[in-house]
Amino acid sequence: MIKWLLRLIVFTVAAVCLLLAALAWPSVWFSHTQRLGNITFHADFDFDGDWPAILADITSRYEHVPVYDSSHLPDVYLFSEQDNYNLFARLALVPDAVPGFNLSIFDNSYISLPGLELRRERPTDRYAYSSITGEIAQCVTHELIHGLLQERLGYAAVLSIPHWKAEGYCEYFAARPRLEADSVKLRDRIGQWLNVPKDSRTREYFLYGLMANYLFAQEQLTLESYLSNSLTFDEARNRMLTWYDTLPHDSTLTSSMP
Ligand SMILES: [Zn+2]
């Protein structure tokens, strides 16, 4: 009996080690690798066509994040087959429907290109500058920023950050270089959010990015004050909406998204 129990324990430990090894070093499944800046991209296809521009866009956004650390060397795995991605998502206990995730403990980001394509086919014009649109550069940079936050704050501290703050930070800073170059102002985007149907499953997620945008760009919060326990979700949302109400409004704004 003890012998069988020992065998079961050894088998279980070996299986767990194999799963962790697959998650830590997925590169054996990928035929193409390209390093740009500090990021190493892996794919099972050539990086031709639009890819050089997309990778350059990701690298540029990434290097503009306030917590950017030049000694940090992340890996990005770009899956062109949903089934292969699902295998890794299940190993990491991430729902298949989520098209990207970061395992900061391994410094790896895993991206489903078919999952992002599905998002791009949905009518998400109200969610400009959000990963909800399925834009590859936004989604990949978002996942990479999760890794930067872990590097800056430590693994335990990152796990204790409220969901809205972590997602809002990644959403806003992944999009910030594009936001600064565009005429669509935060005020306009809050107006668009107010018009998103209340039963939309992604409405809250869009809000997280807007709140981080408001707190960092308007209130000029530091990362420390943003992460302070005294700043609650309700408090931050109310401050943003109070600021929005003080602004002059143009009735055409809510339907003028390019
Ligand atoms: Zn995220």
Question: How does pLDDT run along the chain (258 residues), one tens digit per residue?
Answer: 777 777 777 777 776 676 677 777 788 889 999 999 999 999 999 999 999 999 999 999 999 999 999 999 999 999 999 999 999 999 999 987 899 999 988 899 999 999 999 989 887 666 878 888 899 999 999 999 999 999 999 988 999 999 999 999 999 999 999 888 776 789 989 998 998 888 888 888 999 999 999 999 999 999 999 999 999 999 999 999 999 999 887 654 443 333
State the residue for tokens 């767990």.
16
> At residue 43, what are phi and psi to the nearest 5 degrees?
-150, 165
Span from the CA of 11 to the centroid of ligand 1 (angstroms):
34
Q: How far apart are the C-alpha atoms of 164 and 232, rounded to whole Å?
A: 10
Span from the CA of 249 to the centroid of ligand 1 (angstroms):
31
Span from the CA of 17 to the centroid of ligand 1 (angstroms):
26
CB atoms within 10 A of CB 82: 17
Span from the CA of 134 to the centroid of ligand 1 (angstroms):
13
- Chain Cα centroid distance, residue 108: 12
What are the b/e assignments for 21-56, b being 16+ CB within 10 Å?
eebeebeeebeeeeebebbbbbbeeebeeebeebbe
Q: State whether residue 184 is helix, strand or coil.
A: coil
pTM, entire model: 0.88
Beta-strand relationship, 39-43 and 32-36: antiparallel
Element containing residue 75 per DSSP (H, E): strand 75-79
As a dihedral over the C-alpha atoms of residue 226, residue 232, residue 234, residue 240, rounded to 10 degrees, the angle is: -20
Span from the CA of 246 to the centroid of ligand 1 (angstroms):
31
What are the b/e assignments for 122-132, b being 16+ CB within 10 Å?
eebebbbbbbb
Span from the CA of 188 to the centroid of ligand 1 (angstroms):
24
